[in-house]
Amino acid sequence: MNKAGKHFLERMRMRMWKAVQEFGLIEPGDRILVAVSGGKDSMALLDMLHNRRRMAGMEYDLAAAHIDLTDVPYHADDRTLRNFALARNIPYYRITDDVKITGGNKHPCFYCAWNRRRLLFQRAVEHGFNKVALGHNRDDFTETLLMNMIYHGEISAFKPLQSMFEGKLEIIRPLFYLSNRQIERYVELIGYRPVPYNCPFAEGNDREKFRDLMRQIKKLHPKAGENLLRSARRIRKDYLPPTET
Selection from 68, 60, 65 nearest residue 130 by Cα: 60
The reported pTM is 0.91
Please compute Rg for the chain using Cα positions. Answer: 18
Q: What is the CATH number of the domain that holds 12?
A: 3.40.50.620
Q: Phi and psi dihedrals of 73, rounded to 5?
A: -75, 40
User: Is the pLDDT at 102 greater than 70, yes or no?
Assistant: no
Element (H, E) at 170: strand 169-172
60 found inside a domain: yes
- For residue 244, being part of any structural domain is answered with no
Backbone angles phi, psi at 54, to 5 degrees: -105, 20
What one-character-per-residue DSSP string does 177-203 give? T--HHHHHHHHHHTT--PPP---TTTT
Bridge pairing between strands 169-172 and 92-97: unpaired
Total of domains in the chain: 1
Sequence-distant (6+) residues with CB within 8 A of 183 are: 12, 40, 41, 44, 137, 175
Q: pLDDT per residue over 198-221, tens digit each?
A: 766 666 677 878 888 888 999 999
- 10 occurs within a structural domain: yes
Residue 79 lies in a domain: yes
Kindly state the greatest CA–CA separation across the chain: 58
Q: With beta carbons less than 8 A apart as the criterion, state whether 225 and 218 touch.
A: yes
Structural domain of 98: 3-239
pLDDT tens-digit profile of 10-31? 999 999 999 999 999 999 999 9
- Do 229 and 138 meet the contact criterion of CB atoms below 8 Å apart? yes
Mean pLDDT (whole number) for 180-206: 84
Q: What is the pLDDT of residues 231-241, one digit of tens each?
A: 999 999 899 89
